[in-house]
Amino acid sequence: MLIALGKNHAAQIYKHLTEDEIAALTLVITTISRVTTEERNEVLTEFFETCLAQKYVSEGGLDYARSVLNKALGEAKASEILNKLTETLQVRPFEMLRRAEPGQIFHLISNENPQTIALLLSYLEPKKAANVLISLPSEVQVEVISRMANMESVIPEYIREVEMVFEQKMAKMGTSDQTMVGGIDAVVQIINYVDRATEKNILESLDMTDAELSESIKRNMFVFEDIVKLTSMAVQTVLKQVDVSDIAVALKGATPEVKSFIMSNISKRLQEIITDELEVMGPMKIRDVENAQQKIVNTVRALEESGEIVISRGDDADVLI
């Protein structure tokens, strides 16, 4: 396909590929001496039809795509394209809900059981799932997170059944293998996007109901109190990107250990400024303190993601030697 498109278009596509993909493609291209007109047309037609099928799946789901392609290409060709598409591109369930707003999703799931909600959230983007989670009652939040973390596989027929129910609700306002969903990673990604109050409620409640699960989640994420796990160099890098007033507000509700650690990693001048601010600050709303702490946490997570700092997760994986 890249040969057929020409070097200018191929170069643009290369920009979106990984180094391994580029290396593999380049190696194959160098072994191809010629491409016939028939081969070129066949490949481009197949690629166009696959893109068209993906577009229909994104617009209305797998059944909608099958219906449109059946009329346009015939059942045999439509099945061939969709089977290849689901194998190579891994079409995900709940496509219609994945495009909906968090408020719409909340209204759809407000009367559903925690297991069904956990299944749906597992397929949403973490940020959107977090916004939906925040809207749920606190006790339901904990139950949903617990079920997500312990969810390993779900029968595709059940997923499709739930998907159809939600699609019908939205309209009104395979195989026997099992599909992997949920798990600790999905939970961590979602909790990373919720506000500090929701995060604390979930983790503190899990401490009482399922301490082992709570500890497992904490090992895989970073919370404000974990700042003491950073090296001096790392925390200094973090604090340089946080407004001094936010540091002062965050320390208003910090433990003595955290406060001491942060103060020992800033200049004496900043220590004096923050100390003065704390003395004249007066009572603060818990929400404001938690928001300031969350800003610091978000900075830590962003710097870790970019590779500028390393967070120790309690095993040997991140030990520096």
pLDDT attached to residue 216 = 81
Is the distance from CB of 107 to CB of 136 less than 8 angstroms? no
Length reported for the chain:
321
Q: How crowded is residue 178: how many other Cβ atoms within 10 Å of its Cβ?
A: 13
pLDDT attached to residue 212 = 84
pLDDT attached to residue 167 = 78
DSSP state of 91: P
pLDDT attached to residue 27 = 76
CB-count exposure of residue 132 (10 Å: 0-12, 13-18, 19+): buried
Encode the chain (321 residues) as per-residue pLDDT tens digits. 888 888 788 888 888 877 777 777 877 787 777 778 888 888 888 888 888 887 777 666 667 778 888 888 888 888 888 777 765 544 567 777 777 788 888 888 888 999 999 999 988 888 889 999 999 999 999 999 999 988 877 777 788 888 888 878 877 764 334 455 567 777 877 887 777 788 888 888 888 988 888 888 877 778 888 899 899 999 999 999 999 999 999 998 899 999 999 999 999 999 999 999 888 888 888 888 988 998 998 899 888 878 888 876 544 444 443
Distance CA 295, CA 138 (A): 22
pLDDT attached to residue 312 = 66
- Nearest 10 degrees: Cα torsion 255, 258, 262, 268: 50
Q: Hey, what domains does the chain have and what are their CATH numbers?
A: 2-88 (no CATH), 95-204 (1.10.220.30), 222-305 (1.10.220.30)
pLDDT attached to residue 181 = 58
Residue 302 phi/psi, 5° resolution? -65, -40
pLDDT attached to residue 182 = 63
Is the distance from CB of 177 to CB of 166 less than 8 angstroms? no
pLDDT attached to residue 219 = 72
C-alpha of 46 from chain center: 31
Is the distance from CB of 149 to CB of 213 less than 8 angstroms? yes
Quick one: tokens of 276? Answer: 């003065």
pLDDT attached to residue 243 = 93
Quick one: tokens of 267? Answer: 């200049």
